[in-house]
Structure 1
Amino acid sequence: GIAAWLLAMVLSASAAHAHGGVGMQDNRCVLRIGPDLMFFTGYQPQNSRDEFCDDIPNTGQTVVVLDMQNTELRDMQTEIRIIKDEGNHTTMNGLPFLTDAELGSPQVLDPVTITHVLPRTYPTGTLNFEHTFPETGKFIGIVTVKNAHGQTYVSQFPFSVGKGFGKNIGIYVSMVVVLFAAVFMLWHLGRKQKLGAPKKPA
Structure 2
Amino acid sequence: MVRQVTQAGALILIAALYAGNAAAHGRESMEEDSCVRRIGENMVHLSAYQPQFDTSAQYCTEIPKVGDTYLVVDLIDPAMREMPIGMRVIKGTNETEDETVSYVRPSYHPDGVIRGETSLDQGLYTVIITAEGLPPLRYQYPLRVQMVNYGNIFRTAVGPLIGLLLLTLLGYKLMKSKRVERWRARRRS
Normalised TM-score (structure 2) = 0.64
Task: Name the residue aligned to 2:144.
Answer: 160
Task: Name the residue aligned to 1:75.
Answer: 82
Task: Name the residue aligned to 2:42.
Answer: 36
Over the matched positions of the two proteins, sequence identity in percent amounts to: 24
Name the CA distance, whole Å, in 1 between partners of 2:47 and 2:131. Answer: 18
Superposition RMSD in Å: 3.8
**Do 1:29 and 1:53's aligned partners in 2 also have CA atoms closer than 8 Å?**
no
- 2:162 alignment partner, SS class: helix
Q: Runs of 4 or more off by more than 6 Å in structure 1? A: none
**Do 1:29 and 1:41's aligned partners in 2 also have CA atoms closer than 8 Å?**
no
Structure 1 segment 64-143 matched on structure 2, within 5 A: 64-85=71-92, 108-109=95-96, 111-133=98-120, 135-143=121-129
Is 1:10 paired with 2:20? yes
Is 1:180 paired with 2:161? yes
String of CA shifts for 1:19-65, please: whole Å, max 9, x gaps. xxxx9735987432313333433222433423332222222222122
- 1:51 alignment partner, SS class: coil
Q: Greater CA radius of gyration, 1 or 2?
A: 2
Report 1 or 2 for greater relative contact order, CA contacts < 8 Å, sequence distance ≥ 6.
Answer: 1
Alpha-carbon deviation of 1:175?
2.6
String of CA shifts for 1:47-105, please: whole Å, max 9, x gaps. 3423332222222222122222221110122121111226xx6xxxxxxxxxxxxxxxx
**Do 1:146 and 1:153's aligned partners in 2 also have CA atoms closer than 8 Å?**
yes
Q: Which amino acid aligns with 2:69?
A: T
Name the CA distance, whole Å, in 2 between partners of 1:121 and 1:37. Answer: 16
Alpha-carbon deviation of 1:142?
1.3
Aligned length: 164
Q: Which amino acid aligns with 2:157?
A: V
- Structure 1 gaps of 5+ residues are 90-107, 196-202
**Do 1:30 and 1:37's aligned partners in 2 also have CA atoms closer than 8 Å?**
no
Task: Name the residue aligned to 2:52.
Answer: 46
- Structure 2 gaps of 5+ residues are 1-10, 178-189
Q: Which amino acid aligns with 1:129?
A: G
Normalised TM-score (structure 1) = 0.61
**Do 2:88 and 2:129's aligned partners in 1 also have CA atoms closer than 8 Å?**
yes
Distance 1:10 1:83, change over 3 A: same
